[in-house]
Amino acid sequence: MKTYVTIIFSSEGAKPSEIKSRLFGLGFKAVRGSYDFVYEWDKEPDIDTLLDFADRIQTALKGTEVLFSIETV
């Protein structure tokens, strides 16, 4: 299972390189294509684990003025 993140940057917010560093700190990898980053799960997460991870992403990006969306498939 994988969690994908798409980022929308603001010219008034953090630099893309800072966003990359913050997401890499959570275990994400950069990808090309429809998504910007991917996290690969070792085993299938339950809903509570996914929500906790989404909270961690939000905390990591807080104050950067970026918008993000996540999709886990």
Contacts for 4 with CB less than 8 Å, ≥ 6 apart: 31, 34, 35, 37, 38, 39, 70, 71, 72, 73
State pLDDT tens for residues 9-22.
Answer: 999 999 999 999 99
pLDDT score of 37: 98
pLDDT at 47: 97
Residues linked to residue 38 through DSSP beta bridges, in sequence order: 4, 29
Looking at residue 43, its pLDDT comes to 96
d(CA 21, CA 72): 21
CATH of the domain at 18: 3.30.70
32-58: average pLDDT: 97
Q: Which domain holds residue 20?
A: 2-72
Q: Is 73 helix (H, G, I), strand (E, B) or coil?
A: coil
Q: Looking at the whole model, is its pTM more than 0.95?
A: no
Order across the sheet with 29-30: list the strands. Answer: 29-30, 37-40, 2-8, 67-72
The total number of structural domains that make up the chain? 1
